[in-house]
Amino acid sequence: MTAPATNNLPTLLITVMGRDRPGVTAAMFGALSGFAVEVLDVEQVVVRGRLILAILVTAPREVAKLSTAAKSTAATLGMDLEIARGEGDNNPRREGRAHVTVLGHPLVPKAVAAITGRVADTGANIDRIIRMARYPVTAIEFHVSGTDLHGLRAVLAREAVEQRVDVAVQNVGLLRHGRRLLVMDVDSTLVQGEAIDMLATRAGVGGQVAAITAAAMRGELDFEAALRQRVALLAGLDVAVLGEVYGEMRLAPGARTLVRTLKRLGYRLAIVSGSFTQLTDRLARDLDIDYAQANELEVVDGRLTGRIVGPIVDRAGKAEALRSFAADSSVTMDRTIAIGDGAN
Residues with catalytic roles: 185, 187
d(CA 124, CA 127): 9
d(CA 303, CA 292): 23
Distance of CA 177 to the CA centre of its chain: 13
**Sequence-separated (6 or more) residues with CB below 8 Å from residue 264:** none
d(CA 287, CA 271): 11
Element (H, E) at 240: helix 240-248
Contact 284, 197 (CB under 8 A): no
d(CA 242, CA 236): 13
**Sequence-separated (6 or more) residues with CB below 8 Å from residue 197:** 206, 209, 210, 213
Q: Are strands 191-192 and 250-251 parallel, antiparallel or unpaired?
A: antiparallel
The sheet carrying 336-339 orders its strands as: 303-309, 291-300, 268-276, 181-184, 336-339
Beta bridge partners of 120: none
Q: For residue 231, give the nearest of 159, 156, 296 by alpha carbon.
A: 296
**Sequence-separated (6 or more) residues with CB below 8 Å from residue 35:** 60, 62, 65, 66, 69
Beta bridge partners of 169: 100
**Sequence-separated (6 or more) residues with CB below 8 Å from residue 325:** 181, 183, 268, 270, 290, 291
**Sequence-separated (6 or more) residues with CB below 8 Å from residue 285:** none
